[in-house]
Structure 1
C-alpha cells in the first residue's frame, strides 16, 4: 500500500492564505509609513570631486576653468591630478530624510547617518552657518597659499581682521567689523589657530584681553567667551589677511568649510614647481592647513575615501588625526597615507612620483590591543 501526505483541509489553506496576505499588507503599510515619516537625522554621502590642477568643475564634466590660477608667476603643467573631496548632506531641518532613506543609508558603507543637530546646530541660523562656511573656505584658501609660498621660500606677512560679529554674542558692542587683532591675552597673535587656542584655554568664565587696531587707532578691549557647541567662543568671524608676493586666484563655487586647505597648498606648489610632484599619478586627499603647514582633521573622512575611489584615485592623503575613522573604511585598491604636516604630504608625493616603495611612509593602523 502506498502512503501519501494528506492535503490540508480547505479551511487550513484559507487561514494560511489570509495570514500571508495580512503580513504582506502590514509590511506594505510599514514601508509606506517609513517612506512618509521624517527622521531626526541627515545623511552624509560622497560629494563632487575637484582636481586642483584642473578646472573649477567637478571631475567628469563641465567647461574647463582653472581652479587655481597664478597669472603673475611662471607655472608648469602636470599630467597628474590632486583631487580634493567634498561631502554632500541629504536633508536639512526643513526637509528631513524619511526613515526608509535613513535605514537604506545605514547599511551603505559610503554613507553616514548623523543627528540633524550635529550639522545644523539649533542655535545657529542657516544664514550664519552659510556665512561661516564661506569665510572658512576663504580662510582655508588664504592659509593654503601662505603655507605653499612659505614652503617655497617666500616671505608672507599676515594680519587677522574681524569679518563680522554675530548678533547677541559676547563680542557684540565690543569688537567691530574691520578691527585688526594684534594681541590676545597680551601676546602677539601668530595666526588664526593660535587665536582659537588662546580663547579655548581662557575658558568661558573670565574676560580675555584683545589688542587691536581700529581705523589706525590702537586699543585694548576685553571680551568674556561663552560656550558654543562645547567650545569657548567670542562670536566673531575672523579673516586672515596676507601680503603675498603675487596673486594666487582660487575659484571654487558652492563649496564651504576649511577641509580642502592641504590639497589647495599642494596644487599651488605643483603649479609653481618645474618637476611634477604627482609623477603623473591620480592622488586625492583632504585636511585643513594653517600658514605653518600643519594639517588638521576634517569631517566626513569615510565619505571622502569612497569619493576618491569613485573618481579613479589610486592614492589618498589622510590627516593623521582622522586615522581612527580611516581604519576599516578604505575601499579596495586605494593606498592611504597618514599626514600631519605639509612636509609629510610632500614626502608621500615624492615616494609616489618616484615609485620607490612606500614602506617608510606613515599609515593609518588599528590601535594596538593590550
Structure 2
C-alpha cells in the first residue's frame, strides 16, 4: 500500500488530500504576475540615459519663415532668387533638458527614421539643460557670423577680423605668456588676417618659437611662444581664440528656436545667392547642412541621416553633405535624392550653379 504521508516515487501525482488548495495557488500566481507587470511598466516609465534624433523641419534660406524674410541685407543691392536652399534640422529628445523614457527609446530603436545614442556620447557629464541651451544659442550666433564672413570672402568683399584669447588648454604652451583678452595681430611679422594665417605659420615653423604681436589693454607688445604638436601633428599655441568681425554692411538672419552650428553652409549659400546676379538654384529644391568657418571650410555635423530624411520628405532632390559625414551617408540616401559631397563654400556654390542651370552631376563629388 502506498504511504500517504510521502510523495510517490513513480512520477504519479499526490493524492488530493495532500495538494495545496487550487484557489490559493492561483491567487499567488496572479498576484506575482501583477507585481511583475507593474515593475515592468514602471521600468518603461523611468528616465533613460539616451538621446533620440528625429527628422526636423527645413527652412529655406532664400525664402521666408512666418512671412519674415530669413536673410535680409539692408542697404545693399540684392537679386531675385528662386527654388530652395534649405537648412535642415533634427529634433533632439533626451539628455538634461528633456529626458526620455525607456518605452520611447524602445520605440525609436524600431523606427528607421530615428536614431538612438547613449547620452554620454552627446552631452558632457554634469552639463545642465540651461547650459546646453546657452551653448546652442552661442553656436548659432557664431555660425551666422562665420557664414557672413565665408560668403563675403567668396565674393571678394573685404572685411576685418581679429582673434582674441578667450581661454587656455590644460597643457597650453602659451599659458603665462599670453593673457585673457589679448588680441593677436601678427605672427613672425605677418599680419594675422584670419585663423588660417596663424595655423600656416605655426606649422611652417615645425615647433620652433614664434614671435607674436599682441595688443594688450590698448598697448602693442611682442611675445615669444613655442608651439606644441597635437595628436594630428599640427602645431598649436594651446589657446582658445574668439573671432570678432567688422563687416562693411549688415546681414540680418531671422530664425528662432533653432540652435547649433550646423546651418553655416546653407546660410552662406543663401547670402551668396542674394548678392549675386542670376538665380543660383534654377528653381530646383536643394537642401544641406554643415558647419563653416570664415575661410569657407565646411565641417561635419550630427544627425545627417535624419536631416536627409527630413529634407526628402519636404521635397528636396539634392542634398549637400559635408565630406566628413560621407561615412554615415553611404547606403542611407533616401530614394529620389542626389547627395553632393562638399568640402568648402566654393565647391558648394559650383555644385548648385551646375545643377541649377540644368547640368548633370558629372564631375561633382559624391559620397559614393
- The answer for the alignment partner of 1:239 in structure 2 is 243
Given the alignment of the two structures, is residue 292 of structure 1 paired with residue 301 of structure 2, yes or no?
no
Q: Secondary structure at the match of 2:242?
A: strand
- The answer for the alignment partner of 1:38 in structure 2 is 47
Given the alignment of the two structures, is residue 52 of structure 1 paired with residue 52 of structure 2, yes or no?
no
Q: 2:324 aligns with which of 317, 321, 324?
A: 321
Given the alignment of the two structures, is residue 270 of structure 1 paired with residue 273 of structure 2, yes or no?
yes
Q: Contact (CA 8 Å) 2:62, 2:270: kept in 1 or not?
A: yes
- The answer for the alignment partner of 1:358 in structure 2 is 361
Given the alignment of the two structures, is residue 86 of structure 1 paired with residue 89 of structure 2, yes or no?
yes
- The answer for the alignment partner of 1:347 in structure 2 is 350
Cα separation, 2, equivalents of 1:221 and 1:130: 38
CA 1:25–1:347 in 2, change beyond 3 Å: closer, same or farther? farther
Matches within 5 A, 1:58-73: 63-73=66-76
Given the alignment of the two structures, is residue 213 of structure 1 paired with residue 215 of structure 2, yes or no?
yes
Tell me by how many angstroms 1:355 deviates: 1.9
Tell me by how many angstroms 1:223 deviates: 11
Cα separation, 1, equivalents of 2:190 and 2:58: 40
Tell me by how many angstroms 1:286 deviates: 0.7
Cα separation, 2, equivalents of 1:132 and 1:185: 34
- The answer for the alignment partner of 1:7 in structure 2 is none
After superposing the two structures, state which structure 1 stretch, 325-334 or 34-43, moved more: 34-43
Cα separation, 1, equivalents of 2:356 and 2:69: 23
Deviations 1:320-363, CA, capped at 9 Å, x for gaps? 11110011211111111111122221221122212222132111
- The answer for the alignment partner of 2:122 in structure 1 is 119
Superposition RMSD in Å: 4.1
> Which structure 1 segments of 5+ residues have no match?
1-13, 58-62, 366-370
Tell me by how many angstroms 1:233 deviates: 9.5
Cα separation, 1, equivalents of 2:313 and 2:97: 30
> TM-score, normalising length from structure 2?
0.76
Q: Contact (CA 8 Å) 1:193, 1:290: kept in 2 or not?
A: no
Q: Contact (CA 8 Å) 1:279, 1:354: kept in 2 or not?
A: yes
The runs of at least 4 consecutive aligned structure 1 residues that moved more than 4 Å come to 20-31, 123-129, 168-178, 183-190, 192-202, 207-211, 221-225, 231-237
Cα separation, 2, equivalents of 1:200 and 1:23: 69
CA 1:156–1:361 in 2, change beyond 3 Å: closer, same or farther? same
Tell me by how many angstroms 1:131 deviates: 3.8
Cα separation, 1, equivalents of 2:202 and 2:38: 53
Cα separation, 1, equivalents of 2:53 and 2:192: 36
Tell me by how many angstroms 1:118 deviates: 2.4
Q: Secondary structure at the match of 1:100?
A: helix
The alignment covers a number of residue pairs equal to 339
> TM-score, normalising length from structure 1?
0.75
Matches within 5 A, 1:168-183: 178-183=181-186
> Which structure 2 segments of 5+ residues have no match?
1-21
Q: Contact (CA 8 Å) 2:49, 2:119: kept in 1 or not?
A: yes
